[in-house]
Each structure stands twice: as C-alpha cells, then as structure tokens.
Homo-oligomer: A and B are copies of this chain.
Amino acid sequence: MKKETEAGFVPIEGGVTAAKGFQAASTAAGIKYSGRQDMAMIYSPVPCRAAGTFTKNLVQAAPVKWDRMRVEEGAAAQAVVINAGIANACTGEEGMRYCSQTAKAVSQALHIPEESVLVASTGVIGMQLPMDRIAAGIHAMAPSLAEGPAAGEAASKAIMTTDTKNKEAAVQVDIGGVTVTIGGMCKGSGMIHPNMCTMLSFVTTDAAISRDLLLKALREDIEDTYNMISVDGDTSTNDTVLLLANGMAGNPEIAEEGPEYEAFCRGLRYVNETLSKKIAGDGEGCTALFEVQVKGASTKEQAKTLAKAVITSNLTKAAIFGHDANWGRILCAMGYSGAEFDPEKVDLFFESSAGSMQIIENGVAVDYSEEQATRILSEPEVRAVADIKMGTETATAWGCDLTFDYVKINADYRS
C-alpha cells in the first residue's frame, strides 16, 4: 500500500479489476459498432454482495428492471455482462426476455447460478438486441476472463458509446489493519443528468462488508457524486451503478457503523467522485469540465439545487465554451433553481489553473478585467464559486460546456 493521504485513502492505478479476485473480459460482438470491442464482462469466482442504484426515469430499460429485481431480492452476484450500442430500452417483453436469455447463457458458460448474473446495456433506445451476437459474445469472453489492469482497461473501453475516453478509478483503504481495494469503471457522455442515480458505473471491492452497510454506503454516496453531474439535463432510461463486494481482502467484516465503515465510505467516495468527474469532463462534444461550488448555504439541499441549476444551464454552458465571463447567466440560473437566497448578497469567483478572481460582490459586478477572466475560463477545467452568505453548508456539481460538437453528435447519433 502506498503512502496514505490525509483523507485516509490512497488512490492507485486500475479500475474494475483492481480489487482482489475480480476478473474482466471484452470482445467485439458486432452489436452495432464495427471494428471495435462492444461487450464486456466482470466476474468474481467468489460470490459477491451486491448493491445497486438505478434511474428514477419512469421509462426504464429492461436491464434496469432486471438488476433491480436481483439486487432487491439479495441474490449473490458473480457476473455482470454489459453491451454498448443498443440500450434495450422501450423494448417491451422481448427486451426482458433478452435479459433472462443473457443470464442463462452466462450461467452455462461460467457454471454459476442464473440469479447471480447482472446485465447492463447502453446505446440507442427502442432497438431490439441481436440475441445471437450477444450469446456468441458471452461464449467468446468466458474463456478469456483475466485478473489485472489490462483486462479491466479493455473492459472499460468496450462499454464506451460517444465517450472519447475510458473511465477508471481505484483506491486502497486500511480497514482494521487490512488493505482493502475499491475500483470501478463507468461510461457516460450524453443523456447525462442522473436522478438519484447514474449512467453505467461498475464498482468492485474486496472488502468484507454487510449487505445493509454496502447498500447504505452506495445510496448515500451517489447523492454527492453521480447525482451532482449533468451533461445535458436528460435523465437516461438506463442509469445504473452496481457495487460488488467479494470479501477477499480478508478484513474483519464491516458489520456496523464506525471508523471502519467510514474508511470504506471515504474510499468509495474517492472512486465515485473521480468517475463522476470523468463523465462530466467527457460530456458529449465538450472542451471543458465545469465545476460549480456553492458555499455559505443554510442547508445542503439548497447548495445542491443552486449548484446543479448552474451546471445545467444551456446559456451558462455556451458562455463557458466561448470563454466568456457572462456571470449574469450564472445568477439567472441560481434565481430560477427554486432555492431561496438573496441575489443581492451573492459573491462570485472564477478559478482555474490560470488563476482566481472575484467577479461579483453582493450581487453586483466588481471592476474586474475581462481579459483575465477570459484567460481563467480558457483552461480545460474551470470552476465557479458562489458564496451566498446564509450559513455553512457547501455543495459541488460538475458539468461541461455546450459546443457545436454536442449538437453535431446528437443530430447524427442514430445514423
């Protein structure tokens, strides 16, 4: 284990195969893309406790319904099969049949119970999956399952759609003197506005932890991570976060809240926050990660509502693309967010690696340099900090700029 950071965890290289005993495989199944891998599988020979959170969209993809059922009944999980290209959403009964056929095929290939197979899909809504190619993909992947970073990285690439970068994160924490690893991969670039959950994210850990605490840790963590990002305001039909724990680290099982549980949560937060920021920073067509922090709020909820309104505002996002310190749009978005505050008390700052500067004091512009503001806003990661001076609560949200390429990608996506 590397040197521990102040926060009590150590970021490491790797992703979904970073934790002990987790294997991955991927293949080019030809579901919709050609010339690239488009299916992935995660596998743990040791059965896992599983936690999951899913889209709150009323229109839910078949795999979302399938996984929710499995997680709620408390089935031990051993494998997750993911395909890119077709979302298996709005596919009626046929779509559900594909989930059970997929589980059956994995069960046969890996000799594990059907109930231990989770599924996830991402891509075009409304098309039916080509079951023959899915089945062929499963049989191609089963013998090639492998531990180690290369297999994890290949899997994280196979689940990309309009993503331009694969997304992984991993961390180690000390729990009762034992090193526990948490690692994950995710995908997401458009139709990103998670509501109580997120796009596709798969996090694995070798921690021994009770099912109740695993569920609680995930449920609480997504509120400050995936639920605080937005690319385009569109909450997907397929949003899914799965967290699998196989206990192979050998730590004394975390069975109650206390220092060990908190250490686990800090590690989980690091992985989920890192993956969330990677999604926001790789938003469709974007050129910049846009982070908004609201501080001085009287409640956490108020801070979150304000921060999310700003990162979701199309006009603010377009201004960020133009490197334009158009702060009126930020105040405007805060104003229509639904959260109460006094616009005439707001201080606003812009920050990036090029510097930091105050733009507004008590709701009115200070005498700032437009050139300096443009310089700060021209970096690949920019940040706005609003102090509303009502209390001590803080929240951060992550989004990206709105660009020509976002429109191009989404005007052409199906063709």
Contacts and interface: CB of A to CB of B under 8 A. Distances in A.
Interface of A: 56-60, 87, 89-92, 124-126, 190-191, 193, 195, 232-237, 312-315, 318-319, 321-322, 324, 326-329, 331-337, 340-341, 343-344, 360, 362-365, 402-404, 406-415
Identify the interface centre among A326, A341, A406, A410: most chain B CB within 10 Å of its CB: A410
Contact of A403 (B56, B340, B403, B407): B407
Contact of A191 (B125, B321, B332): B332
A318 B411 CA distance: 5
Contact of A331 (B59, B314, B334): B59
- Identical chains in the assembly: 2
A324 to B, nearest CB: 6
Contacts of A191: 315, 329, 332
A365 B126 contact: yes
A334 B59 contact: yes
A322 B236 contact: no
A127 to B, nearest CB: 8
A296 B332 CA distance: 35
Contacts of A315: 190-191, 232, 234, 410
A307 to B, nearest CB: 15
A150 to B, nearest CB: 34
B59 A318 contact: no
In order of increasing CB-CB distance, the 8 nearest A-B pairs are: A125-B328, A59-B335, A322-B411, A318-B410, A235-B336, A57-B335, A58-B335, A126-B328
A407 B318 contact: yes
A136 to B, nearest CB: 25
Contacts of A321: 407, 411
Nearest to A328: B125
Contacts of A60: 335
15 contacts: A57-B332, A58-B337, A58-B341, A59-B332, A59-B336, A60-B335, A126-B331, A193-B336, A237-B328, A318-B409, A322-B412, A322-B413, A403-B407, A404-B408, A407-B407
A316 to B, nearest CB: 8
B329 A234 contact: yes
Given A58-B340, A59-B332, 5 more contacts: A90-B363, A234-B315, A315-B410, A318-B407, A319-B411
Contacts of A312: 233
A363 B408 CA distance: 28
Given A90-B363, A344-B92, A410-B318, A234 B336 contact: yes
A343 B90 CA distance: 8
A234 B313 contact: yes
A415 B313 CA distance: 20
Contacts of A406: 314, 318, 407
Nearest to A94: B364
A314 to B, nearest CB: 4
Given A125-B328, A125-B329, A322 B410 contact: yes
A233 B335 contact: no
B125 A58 contact: no
Contacts of A195: 336
Nearest to A95: B364
A322 B343 CA distance: 39
